[in-house]
Copies of this chain bind each other. A is one copy, B any other.
Amino acid sequence: MSLIRHYNSEDKVLVAVDSVIFGFDREGLKILLIKRDFEPQKGAWSLMGGFLKKNETLDQAANRVLHELTGLDSIYMEQVSSYSALGRDPVERTISVAFFALINIAQHDFKLNKAHDAQWFPLSQAPTPIFDHQQMIAEALERLKRKALTNPIGFELLPEKFTMRQLQDLYESILNEKLDKRNFINKINALEILIRLEEKDKTTSKKGAFLYKFDEEKYNQKIDEGFNFKL
């Protein structure tokens, strides 16, 4: 007789992961939604998700699901929260763990898996998604905001070379407020994580704007240290 108590009498439940996939391009911050192709709510928009398998962690599941849709690996992901309301998925009792992912749309040369009928939506123009996905998006966005104010995130969302204006646009779209150009530049420069290149980007102005890239070493240092931005 073993003294090890097994958990045979306990309930097992379906566990899902759902990903709030944020992207950024010249048009601003966007999220990636997929069109649901089965009932109920067939045709409605939804976060990309999937079920946790017996032999994988939640992070692995979230990465697997993201990979299935985008083909991408090594994408920055972070757990947001778990959702467990009883009727949240009308098909069957399921709890879901939400993640957020950061992708730079223009840079990564990926094709969305056509089987999933996915589409990028500017944050403010996204349709209302199914179940409790709206709440997941809202909480993921809160997390992203805090992240942006305490750690550098541009590396995940911006192309390798970018203008100061693009960086400011990124922060403005995450924080959902206009920032003063000079104050923003002063703050960013104080971090000393940017390297100004000789090249200029001429796509948005006649004068041209200097391109910058991140100083990877100092950038990573700031990830560890953290900071406390008030923008």
List chain B residues, Cβ under 8 A from A93.
54-55
B55 A86 Cβ-Cβ under 8 A:
yes
Distance in angstroms from A158 CB to nearest chain B CB is 27
List chain B residues, Cβ under 8 A from A7.
14, 51, 91-92, 94
Rounded to whole angstroms, the CA-CA distance of A3 and B91 in the bound complex is: 11
- Interface bits A24-68 vs B (CB < 8 Å: 1, else 0): 000000000000001110100000000111111111000000000
A6 B42 Cβ-Cβ under 8 A:
no
B82 A58 Cβ-Cβ under 8 A:
yes
Interface membership of A225, Cβ < 8 A: no
A57 B42 Cβ-Cβ under 8 A:
no
Interface membership of A5, Cβ < 8 A: yes
Distance in angstroms from A93 CB to nearest chain B CB is 6
B54 A5 Cβ-Cβ under 8 A:
no
Interface membership of A191, Cβ < 8 A: no
List chain B residues, Cβ under 8 A from A92.
6-7
Rounded to whole angstroms, the CA-CA distance of A97 and B82 in the bound complex is: 8
Rounded to whole angstroms, the CA-CA distance of A61 and B57 in the bound complex is: 22
Rounded to whole angstroms, the CA-CA distance of A92 and B79 in the bound complex is: 23
Interface membership of A4, Cβ < 8 A: yes
Interface membership of A224, Cβ < 8 A: no
* Given A57-B86, A82-B79, A3 and B51 contact (CB-CB distance below 8 Å): no
Interface membership of A85, Cβ < 8 A: yes
A2-B39, A12-B14, A56-B86 are known contacts; what are 20 more A-B pairs with Cβ within 8 Å? A3-B38, A3-B39, A4-B38, A5-B91, A7-B51, A7-B92, A7-B94, A10-B14, A10-B51, A11-B14, A11-B51, A11-B54, A13-B13, A13-B54, A15-B95, A52-B84, A52-B95, A55-B93, A58-B82, A79-B81
28 contacts between A and B (CB under 8 A): A2-B39, A4-B39, A4-B91, A5-B39, A5-B91, A6-B91, A6-B92, A7-B91, A10-B14, A11-B14, A11-B51, A11-B52, A11-B54, A12-B12, A12-B15, A13-B15, A15-B15, A15-B95, A54-B93, A55-B86, A56-B86, A57-B84, A58-B82, A59-B84, A79-B81, A79-B82, A82-B82, A82-B97
